[in-house]
Every structure is written in C-alpha cells, then in structure tokens.
Amino acid sequence: MTERVQKIYELLKEEYPDVHCELNYQTPLQLLTATVLSAQTTDRQVNRVTEKLFAEHPDLDTLLELSEEELEGYIHSLGFYHTKARNLYRLFRELADRFHGEVPQTMQELTSLPGVGRKTANVVLSNAFGIPAIAVDTHVFRVSNKIGLAHASDVRETEKQLQNALDPEVWSLMHHLLIFHGRRCCSARSPQCERCVIRQYCEYYQKEWENDGETV
C-alpha cells in the first residue's frame, strides 16, 4: 500500500477499534442467510428478523422444513420479502443437493446460488471463512470513491481498484472500516467533514472544502 493509503487505514482503525460485522450469526449458513436478507435493508432490521428465525431454525435441516410461505412469515417486515423468501427457499435446497449441506468457499460456487451476488459472496468468504475479500456495498462504494481510494463508476470496478490499492490481508477489515465510517461520519447526504479523521487525505474534502477557506 502507498503511504497515503496506509495512513487512511491506520486512522480508520484507530477511530473504530470495535469494528465488526454488524449482522448477527453463529455459522456460515446463518451469515449467508442474513446477508441475502440484507439487500436494500439495514443490518438492524435483518437482525430483528433473524433472531427468531435462527432461534427456531438454527441449521440447514430445520430451515429445509420451512415452506416458502412460512419463510415469508418470518421475513415479511423486510423489503422485497417475496423475492428473498423464494431465493432462500431454493438456496437451502441447492446447498443440500449440490454442496452436501455445506456453504461453499469459492466465489464461483457461492454466486451460483439463488440470490447470491459478488457482495454477498465476499461477505461470506471474508467473515465466515477468513478468506481475503472486500465486499462493496453502498457505503464502501460511496466512501472509497469520495476519499479517492477508488475512482470508479460501478461496484465491480471499485472492488478491483480497492484490491489493487490495499494489501490482501487488510481487505476484510477495510471493508468494515469503510462501512463504519460511512454510517457514522461520511453519510451520503451530509458528510461530517469537520470531524472526519481522514479529511486531510480525502479528495472530496480537498476539492469541496479547501476552496472555502477551510484548513486541513
């Protein structure tokens, strides 16, 4: 990593020492399920739903007992719950039929499952299995491009540029750090630049604020 990127990483790590995955889970399957549910939904909302779902159906055998309609009953408070229930219903059966009941550990296999894209696969690979990966959600996309860690117009290119900019051993942690920073400081509508710990390294701040006489 360049000196600038290393400094951004260190400052964010110091600012958010308690950084972690904010989805609640105990197994790779539970994380996969929660991440599928998290699309267009907050982690807090997902955790409220999965608390009951996982308590009553903690593993694949018990999840397979649920009909698609019963799944909808658990997750109906979430956005797009019809589609998510249909995807999970099929996903659980494909895990049993194609992967001997185990969550696969490769990008290709994970993204072959219903409702699983690159972001979900990267979350599972990094958090459940410790495999270096950097998932790009809306926060990671926005913050990394605003800071200048990436200069991309789409999620896939952002992921590639972040992989090039960061050492593989920090990919997973940096994913969480960027999410925390996006939620707690660098919001989409009103970024709090005046209290941002990395503002002196941020391209957005340099461009938008220094011209107004702000000091770095």
Query: Residue 179 is part of a domain; what is its CATH number?
Result: 1.10.1670.10
Instruction: Find, among 140, 135, 98, the residue nearest to 119 by Cα.
Output: 135
157 in the same domain as 117: no
Per residue in 192-203, pLDDT (tens digit) is: 999 999 999 999
Q: Where are the alpha helices (DSSP H) in the chain?
A: 3-15, 28-37, 43-56, 60-63, 68-75, 81-98, 107-110, 118-129, 138-147, 155-165, 171-184, 203-208
In a domain, 62, yes or no: yes
Q: How confident is residue 216, by pLDDT bands cut at 50, 70 and 90?
A: very low
3-state SS, 100-120, equals CCCCCCCHHHHCCCCCCCHHH
In a domain, 141, yes or no: yes
**Matching residue, tokens 């913050």:** 143
Structural domain total, the chain: 2
Range of the domain at 79: 28-129
Name the pTM for this structure. 0.91
Instruction: Write down which residue in 113, 129, 145 finishes a domain.
Output: 129
Per residue in 52-107, pLDDT (tens digit) is: 999 999 999 999 999 999 999 999 999 999 999 999 999 999 999 999 999 999 99
Give yes or no: 146 in active site: no
Residue of 97, 119, 160, 207 marked active site? 119
Residue of 137, 167, 207, 212 marked active site? 137
CATH code for the domain of 58: 1.10.340.30
Give yes or no: 137 in active site: yes
